[in-house]
Amino acid sequence: MRLADLTHVFSEDFPLFPGAPPTSRTTAVTVQADGFYAQQWTLSEHACTHMDAPAHFVAGGRTTPQLRLSELVAPVVVIDIARRAAGDPDTVVTPNDLRAFERRYGRIPRNAVVCMHSGWQARIGSTESYRNADAQQVMHFPGFGKAAVDWLLTRRSIRGIGVDTLSLDPGNSKTFDSHVTVLKANRYGIENLRGLKAIPARGATIYLGVIPWRGGSGGPCRAFASW
């Protein structure tokens, strides 16, 4: 069995979606002074590699403690749009991408997590580059188009979607249609994944260790895959 870590290292300088509260960390105690070492963190539920639970966009939607363990282990497929994204940062995953994937790799399994590989993780060292905002502060990075999410929900009964960018939606979205669509369907999303190119396009299993904190609209997530 092979394993691949799909999680970025959590850090106080990890790029955040505009408006998110800043991440901070301090050393609470040290081995030298106190006999043991620990840090204290302040962070948003939606910082670094994390899950969006239905409650993030749906009033009364499920929170992270309400997600079943069986939902956190799933087949994973990777839709690779990196070449297109390199020339068009506003591109989105479309139903045509999904059909092309299936012609090459076979049918997307039921209850799968469908992930977008756009190559965006190469920009992670710079908040400015990762957000890719223009002079009007409109961000430009890839995401899932609503039509693709609708197709996956109605035709393949997926469990969730994942991206290697700041948002399930493209950066220039104002309505967050893909967020609303997948979370209203009582599924979840995972943002800021890494290493998707390293796993098989089809045939791997994803494991999502989301923190089940009380009332969580989502949360930091240790994501990894095996095959």
Note the pLDDT tens digit of each residue in 149-160: 999 999 999 999
Instruction: Specify if 163 maps to a domain.
Output: yes
Provide the CATH number for the domain around residue 54: 3.50.30.50
pLDDT at residue number 196: 98
pLDDT at residue number 101: 98
Mean pLDDT of the chain, nearest integer: 98
What residue has token string 């799933």?
A: 74
Tell me which residue range forms the domain holding 192.
3-10+44-226
Average pLDDT over residues 181-186: 98
Average pLDDT over residues 193-206: 98
Whole-number percent of the chain with pLDDT over 70: 100
Instruction: Specify if 151 maps to a domain.
Output: yes
Instruction: Specify if 17 maps to a domain.
Output: no
Residue 40, beta-bridge partner list: 26
Instruction: Specify if 28 maps to a domain.
Output: no
Q: Is 93 helix (H, G, I), strand (E, B) or coil?
A: strand
pLDDT at residue number 27: 98
Instruction: Specify if 148 maps to a domain.
Output: yes
Q: Is beta strand 73-80 parallel, antiparallel or unpaired with respect to 113-117?
A: parallel
**Count of domains forming the chain:** 1
6-62 pLDDT per residue, tens: 999 999 999 999 999 999 999 999 999 999 999 999 999 999 999 999 999 999 999
pLDDT at residue number 120: 98
Instruction: Supply φ then ψ for residue 218, to 5 degrees.
Output: 160, -160
User: What 3 state SS string does 148-165 have?
Assistant: HHHHHHHHHCCCEEEECC
Instruction: Specify if 35 maps to a domain.
Output: no
Contact 23, 14 (CB under 8 A): yes
